[in-house]
Amino acid sequence: MTAEHVTTEPEMSEETLRSRMLGVVADWSSDQRSFKSASWGKAMMWIFLVSDTFVFSCFLISYMTVRMSTTVEWPHPSEIFALDIGGKKIPLILIAIMTFDLITSSGTMAMAVNFAYARERKKAAMLMLATAFFGAAFVGMQAFEWTKLIHEGVRPWGNPFGAAQFGSSFFMITGFHGFHVSIGVIFLLIVARAVWRGDYDVGRRGFFTSRKGRYEIVEIMGLYWHFVDLVWVFIFAFFYLW
């Protein structure tokens, strides 16, 4: 319990806690909706993200397993992921920029959600475009990094620096994450266009679904985007810092 809670409700006793727990139970066992404040779309995105978490977890755990079980030494990340800038080898510089870029995009995404709910369409659309731009820049930098490694002789089936599984898991996992970012960029562009045109104000129907959209889609989009960012933090930690 935080200090704030204690000051606002000094009499928060075991009894109150119990009644709040019962409130959770009551919501869950009530009719119609188990998550009272979540729309269908939002609930679906959350559950999808849980499932996707399992996919990424399986990928990362497999990576850790092969890294630990291989008999050949693992390439040293601070040397492999270093860039030559002005004659100096700077370790992890590209990845620092990429991480900064992606985290910035989370910021613009959060602002876009805010403006979308405030019905400031142009601002929201511009911020979503900015998010898409950061996302595309991330994928671009990833392509640059891949090209650099491939030039140095790293291949999915082997590399001159050490264990063959380095290239395999690196290309597979960053590729899978980059695929998520790319899908996100495409969806951002589609939603940004709809927000810019005011589709959600005039009740324009979706091309495929023939349903009316709502501004909530920006927030749902944001959930996905933040998730992809969060996953990157883990990939970053496990690949570049370990």
32 binds another protein (CB under 8 A): yes
Kindly provide the b/e burial profile for residues 157-172, where b requires at least 16 CB atoms within 10 angstroms of the residue's own CB.
ebbebbbbbbbbbbbe
- DSSP code string of 137-198: HHHHHHHHHHHHHHHTT-BTTB-TTS-HHHHHHHHHHHHHHHHHHHHHHHHHHHHHHHHHHT
Is the CB of 112 or the CB of 231 nearer to another protein?
Answer: 231
Tokens of residue 10, six digits: 């000094």
The one-letter amino acid code at 228 reads: V
Among 38, 141, 223, 230, binds another protein (CB under 8 A): 38
In Å, how far from its chain's centre is CA 237? 14
CB of 85 to another protein, least distance (A): 31
Binding mask 142-171 for another protein (x = CB under 8 A): --------------xxx----xxx-xxx--
Residue whose CB is less far from another protein, 16 or 34 = 34
Q: Which of 8, 54, 87, 160 binds another protein (CB under 8 A)?
A: 54
Residue number with CB closer to another protein (13 or 30): 30
φ and ψ at 114, to 5 degrees? -60, -50
| Nearer Cβ to another protein (3/208) | 208
Residue 81 and residue 75: Cα distance in Å, rounded? 10
CA 150 to chain CA centroid, Å, is: 26
Taking the complex as a whole, the smallest distance from the CB of residue 167 to another protein amounts, in Å, to 8
Report in angstroms how near the CB of residue 184 gets to another protein at its nearest.
17
* Closest separation in Å from C-beta 58 to another protein: 4
- Structure token pair of residue 233: 């933090």
Q: Note the residues at the interface with another protein (CB under 8 A).
A: 28-36, 38-41, 43-44, 47-48, 50-52, 54-55, 57-59, 62, 65-66, 69-72, 156-158, 163-165, 167-169, 172, 176, 208-212
